[in-house]
Amino acid sequence: MRISDMGMNYLSLSIRDVSSLLKQKTISSLELCNAALKRQNAVAKLHPFITHTPDLARESALHSQKRYDRGEQNLPLDGIPVAVKDNFCTSGIPTTCGSVMLQNYIPTYSATVVRRLQKAGAVIVGKTNLDEFGMGSGTTDSTFGPSKNIYRSGVEYNFLHPSREYDNILSRIPSTALENGDWYVTGGSSGGSALAVASGTTFLALGSDTGGSVRNPSSYCGVVGLKPSYGLVSRFGLISLVNSLDVPGLFGRYVDDVATMLSVVSGLDPQDSTSVSSDLQNLKLPENPSLDGLIIGIPREYHWPGMSKEIVDEWTKVADLMEDSGAQVRRLISEDFSKVWASGVNLLLTPVTLSTAIRYSEFQNLDNRTQTATQDICTQAANMAGVPAVSIPVSLNTEGLPVSLQLIGQWGKDPAMLSAAKWVEQNVKFPRINILE
């Protein structure tokens, strides 16, 4: 690995920036689609996908390109490559849930979230890998093989260069893959979606979150992972693990990208009785969000035994950073969410996982049930309460692995939570992977 002194590849850009290039005809939708499909081949050995959809992707990209060529008002995700976890039904495309039992199942309809993405101009580039039926925390239990984290994988990449403060860290990161064929897990169960975004095969991806299945892999893979408020996004067409807990989750490299995706997929769906109406269709986060007046809670009970020192250190560092920028931080004792919100706290800042990504050789030492219980310790509460939560990468450790933190908000206050997440993103300057041709 090396610090990048080159410009960004198109696949490293934010949605807003690449959309601007599409409008200016600096790049065409088809060229962007082909770049994403080429990148799929480059990282195929990491196994982010179960099913590739190149013909469908190119057809969708051509439709977007025609809209750009005609100078029409463009759709929110016009020409943007998006991936879908393989437990969302997709019309005419296999939906396997990572299981041999469904390897030949081709739905006749698409999940509401998939239809809304396509209606917004998204280019579906494939179905992503997952633990079989969503039951796992590593994406190691798919019938079609495990997903492998891009970090220290042997796949070539470098870093976008956010600031000189990371020079010393990046210079110490080992440049070689792990020995003896070992690798770091992506986290689960939506590890394929997190990996698809982290490795540059797509800008956005759909996942599902039962007890942390979006935030866990986004933390391990260094991307943004959102679990929306329960009911805000329709679950129709999602083959769920636990109906009362599952929420469609969203992955992106940037908080703004995830907010754009949320604006497209949220809202009332007559086919899902638990869905609610929302006014997020025009959601746009402030350019320069502020923390003034926010009260950030730091729950002590999240300081679990076995939590790594590097996670605790980053937790403290970001809490102090937020406090210095205008947010009366409160250290909380164990209380339920309703009491926390009633006390005036707006958001909670917590770890996402007890450690950074785990080596597969270590991960397999525990059975799946134990791993799931261990890895979801910091994330399950948000699902039980139905409140929104978002994972944001904040630093790299000495092995070059992402360290992430989680913001938890009040039900329905997803925009305010994402605005604070954007503030964190802007101020920690996480060194992102630069996607290479």
Our answer to whether residue 309 is catalytic in this structure is no
Tell me if residue 66 is catalytic. Answer: no
- Given the residues 19, 64, 85, 137, select the one marked as catalytic: 85
Q: Is residue 266 annotated as part of the catalytic site, yes or no?
A: no
- The single residue of 28, 213, 219, 275 carrying the catalytic annotation is 213
Residue 225 Cα distances to 61, 168, 208, 338, 404, angstroms: 25, 28, 10, 24, 10
Catalytic-labelled residue, pool 4, 110, 189, 190: 189
Q: What residues are labeled active site?
A: 85, 189, 213
